[in-house]
C-alpha cells in the first residue's frame, strides 16, 4: 500500500470495543471483499471490506478474521487467516503478507494460512453458541451481486443450521461512527492531500481546458502524496453539467463564463475526505453566479454552526432546507406567496436543492451511521448545501468535512479556500 504504516494499536482497540458488546460464547467471522472481475480475464481495483479493515488493518484479499473472546484456548480468541505466497503468486502478483507482517499490521499473534481456515472453523463453531456474521446494511446500498461474505453466510447457515445467528453490522456501525484520534488524523491527512489537489487546480483551470485534464492534474497530485486513489469517482462538471449531482463524464471543454463544480477528494489509508468547490472557469464569477454562490455560502456557514453534539440529522436537514428556501426567494427563484401555500411534504425548494446536507464520513465516503442518532464527539460529517439552476446553466455546491467535538465542531477543511474573493484572487495569481 502507498500509505505509511498504521500503528496496530488502533485495530487492537477497535477489537476491544467490539468484544465489550458481545454476549458470552460469541463467535465473530469477517471476510475480505472479492477482487471484482470486469471483462475477459480483467479485474477491477481491490478495495478491502471496511469492517475487516476496521478490526484488523489488513489490506489484502482472501483474508478472514475470527474473534472468539470466550474460547477455552487463548490461541483461538483472535485468529487471522491470510493468503500464503507461493512461487506462482510471487511471480505474477508479488509476495503477500507473511505471518509476521500480518501480526505487525493487525496486532493479532495467531496468524494462519487461509487453507487452514476450515479445520479451525469447525472446531470453533462447535464451541460457540452465538455466531455473528457480517453483511452490508447501508440503507443506500444497491446490491446486485453476491459478495464473499454473503456466500459464507449461506454456507455457514447450511452447515450449522441450529446455531443462533446475529447481525454484526449494527454493532460495527455503532463503533465506526465514533472516530478515534488516530482515525481522525488519517482523515485529516486525506483532507490535506485534497487541499493540495484543489490549490493546484486554481492555477490550472482556464477557458479551453478539458474536464479530463483537470481530473489528470488531481490524480497526479493525489498519488504523489500517497493516496491510493480518489475517494470516489471525481465529479468535474462545467457549465450546465454542474446541475447534474453525479456527473461523471468529465469529457467537456470548460468554456469562458461558465462555472466549474468540483466534487473531488482523496482517500488516505482507506479513510476518506469529501470536498466540493465551485469556481469560475475564467477566474471571475458573473454577478448572477456570485449572487447564488454567496447564498450557498451563507447557508453553508449557518449549517456548519448547527452541527453540535445532540443535533439529529433528519430535523437538521429540514432546517437547512428552510435556509435554502429563504435564499431562493431572495434570488427570485421562488415566490414567497407560493411557498406559504406549498405542500409541506413537497417543499418547493427541492426543485433547486434536491439532496441532503450531511452524511457520515470515514472508511466509506457515505459512511455507516444512523441518521436518527444524535451527533456525538468523534463523529465526522460532511456539510454540503447547494443551489442548482439549470435554466441559467449553472449550479453551485460547497462542501467541507466537519468533526464533532465536546465543545462544538472543527472544520477539517477550514484552510481550503471557500470565499469567492479568495478563489478569484488565487486564480488571478495563477
CATH of residue 349's domain is 3.90.230.10
Torsions phi, psi of 276, nearest 5? Answer: -135, 135
Q: Are residues 261 and 403 in the same domain?
A: yes
> Cα separation of 264 and 236, whole Å?
8
The Cα–Cα gap between 11 and 15 comes to: 6
Contact 376, 403 (CB under 8 A): no
Residues 103 and 138 in one domain: yes
Residue 144 has pLDDT above 90, yes or no: no
Residues 169 and 194 in one domain: no
Task: Read off the pLDDT band of 102 (50, 70, 90).
Answer: very high
Locate 182 and state its grid cell.
488516530
Of 208, 231, 230, the closest CA to residue 220 belongs to 230
pLDDT, position 203: 95
CB 379 within 8 A of CB 228: no
Please give the Cα distance from 140 to 148 (Å, whole number). Answer: 20
Same structural domain for residues 135 and 206? no
Can you tell me the mean pLDDT for 123-149?
92
Based on the fold, state whether residues 282 and 410 are members of the same structural domain: yes
CA distance 403 to 413: 10
Residue 1: the pLDDT is: 86
Q: Does residue 94 share a domain with residue 239?
A: no
**Number of domains within the chain:** 2
User: 130 and 264, same structural domain?
Assistant: no
Is the domain of 189 the same as that of 128?
no
Task: Tell me what percent of the residues of the chain surpass a pLDDT of 70.
Answer: 100
pLDDT at site 192:
98
DSSP 45-108: PP---HHHHHHH----SS-EEEE-TT-SSGGGSEEEEEPPP-HHHHHHT-----HHHHHHHH--
The count of C-alpha atoms lying within 13 angstroms of the C-alpha of 212, restricted to the half-sphere facing its C-beta, is 4
Domain boundary among 176, 201, 235: 176
β-bridge pairing 164-167 and 64-67: unpaired
Q: Which domain holds residue 241?
A: 181-429
Is 4 within a domain? Answer: no
Instruction: Give 329-359 pLDDT, tens digit per residue.
Output: 999 999 999 999 999 999 999 999 999 999 9
C-alpha cell at 69: 473472546
What positions carry a catalytic annotation?
A: 41, 246, 263, 274, 355, 359, 366, 384, 388, 397, 399
- DSSP states of 338-381 as a string? HHHTS-TTS-GGGGT--S-S--B-SSSSS----TTSPP-TT-EE
Residue 269 gets which letter from DSSP? T
Look at 179 and 87; give whichever has higher pLDDT.
179
**How large is the average pLDDT for residues 275-290?**
98
Q: What is the mean pLDDT of residues 189-198?
A: 98
- Stretch 114-123: mean pLDDT: 96
Task: Note whether 107 and 213 are same-domain residues.
Answer: no
Going by the DSSP 8-state scheme, the letter that residue 399 receives in this structure is B
In a domain, residue 2? The reply is: no
> d(Cα 225, Cα 210) in Å, to the nearest integer?
24
* Domain final residue, candidates 130, 155, 176: 176
* C-alpha pair distances (Å), 407 with each of 11, 376, 377, 413: 27, 11, 9, 18
Average pLDDT, the chain: 97
Asked whether residue 217 falls in the same domain as residue 354, the answer is yes
* pLDDT per residue as tens digits for the range 209-233: 999 999 999 999 999 999 999 999 9
Mean pLDDT value across residues 32-54: 95
* Residue 200: partners with Cβ closer than 8 Å, 6 or more residues away: 217, 218, 221
Residue 282 has pLDDT above 80, yes or no: yes
pLDDT digits (tens, 9 = 90+) for 121-132: 999 999 999 999
pLDDT of residue 283: 98
pLDDT the model gives residue 390? 98
Please indicate whether residue 67 or residue 138 has the higher confidence score (pLDDT).
Answer: 67
Grade residue 270 by pLDDT with cuts at 50, 70 and 90: very high
% of the chain residues with pLDDT over 90: 96
| Band of pLDDT at residue 145, cut at 50, 70 and 90 | confident
**Residue-wise DSSP of 316-343:** HHHHHHHHHHHHHHHTTSS-HHHHHTS-
Going across the sheet that includes 380-383, the strands are 380-383, 400-405, 408-411
Supply the pLDDT for residue 53: 98
Residue 143: the pLDDT is 83
The domain boundary residue, chosen from 120, 141, 176: 176
Domain CATH number, residue 148: 3.40.350.10
Which range among 89-93, 158-162, 418-422 shows the weakest confidence by mean pLDDT?
Answer: 89-93
The residue assigned the cell 456474521 is: 133
- Shared domain for 100 and 221, answered yes or no, is no
Residue 182's H or E segment, with its range, is helix 181-202
- Residue 277 in contact with residue 262, Cβ under 8 Å? yes
Pairing outcome for strands 164-167 and 130-133? parallel
Return the ∠ at Cα 163 (arms to 161 and 168), rounded to 5°: 110
For position 87, what pLDDT does the model report?
87
Whose cell is 484488523? That residue is 56
For residues 275 and 146, membership in a common domain is answered with no
Amino acid at each position: 500500500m502507498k500509505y505509511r504504516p498504521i500503528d496496530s494499536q488502533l485495530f487492537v482497540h477497535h477489537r476491544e470495543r467490539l468484544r465489550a458488546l458481545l454476549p458470552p460464547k460469541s463467535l465473530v467471522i469477517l471476510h475480505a471483499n472479492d477482487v471484482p472481475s470486469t471483462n475477459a480475464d480483467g479485474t477491477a481495483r481491490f478495495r478491502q471490506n471496511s469492517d475487516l479493515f476496521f478490526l484488523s488493518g489488513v489490506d489484502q484479499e482472501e483474508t478472514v478474521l475470527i474473534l472468539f473472546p470466550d474460547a477455552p484456548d487463548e490461541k483461538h480468541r483472535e485468529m487471522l487467516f491470510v493468503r500464503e505466497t507461493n512461487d506462482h503468486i510471487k511471480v505474477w502478483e508479488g509476495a503477500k503478507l507473511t505471518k509476521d507482517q500480518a501480526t505487525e499490521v493487525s496486532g493479532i499473534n495467531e496468524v494462519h494460512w487461509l487453507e487452514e481456515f476450515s479445520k479451525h472453523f469447525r472446531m470453533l463453531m462447535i464451541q460457540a453458541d452465538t455466531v455473528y456474521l457480517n453483511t452490508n446494511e447501508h440503507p443506500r446500498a444497491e446490491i446486485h451481486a453476491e459478495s464473499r461474505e454473503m456466500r459464507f453466510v449461506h454456507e455457514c447457515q447450511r452447515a450449522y443450521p441450529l446455531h443462533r445467528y446475529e447481525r454484526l453490522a449494527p454493532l460495527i456501525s455503532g463503533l465506526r461512527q465514533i472516530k478515534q484520534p488516530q482515525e481522525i488524523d488519517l482523515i485529516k491527512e486525506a483532507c490535506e492531500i485534497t487541499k493540495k489537489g484543489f490549490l493546484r487546480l486554481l492555477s490550472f483551470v482556464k477557458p479551453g481546458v478539458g474536464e479530463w485534464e483537470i481530473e489528470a492534474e488531481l490524480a497526479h497530485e493525489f498519488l504523489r502524496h500517497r493516496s491510493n486513489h480518489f475517494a470516489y469517482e471525481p465529479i468535474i462538471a462545467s457549465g450546465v453539467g454542474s446541475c447534474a449531482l453525479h456527473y461523471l463524464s468529465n469529457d467537456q471543454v470548460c468554456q469562458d463564463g461558465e462555472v466549474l463544480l468540483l466534487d473531488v477528494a482523496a482517500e488516505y489509508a482507506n479513510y476518506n475526505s469529501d470536498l466540493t468547490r465551485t469556481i469560475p472557469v475564467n477566474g471571475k464569477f458573473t454577478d448572477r453566479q456570485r449572487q447564488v454562490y454567496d447564498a450557498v455560502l451563507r447557508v453553508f456557514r449557518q449549517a456548519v454552526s448547527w452541527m453540535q453534539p445532540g443535533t439529529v440529522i433528519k430535523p437538521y436537514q429540514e432546517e437547512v432546507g428552510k435556509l435554502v428556501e429563504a435564499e431562493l426567494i431572495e434570488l427570485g427563484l421562488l415566490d414567497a406567496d407560493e411557498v406559504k401555500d406549498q405542500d409541506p411534504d413537497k417543499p418547493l425548494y427541492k426543485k433547486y436543492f434536491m439532496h441532503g446536507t450531511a452524511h457520515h464520513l470515514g472508511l466509506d465516503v457515505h459512511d455507516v451511521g444512523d441518521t436518527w442518532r444524535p451527533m456525538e464527539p468523534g463523529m465526522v460529517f460532511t456539510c454540503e448545501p447547494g443551489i442548482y439552476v439549470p435554466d441559467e446553466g449553472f449550479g453551485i455546491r460547497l462542501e467541507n468535512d466537519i468533526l464533532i467535538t465536546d465543545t462544538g465542531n472543527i472544520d477539517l477543511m477550514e484552510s481550503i479556500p471557500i470565499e469567492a474573493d479568495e478563489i478569484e484572487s488565487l486564480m488571478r495569481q495563477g
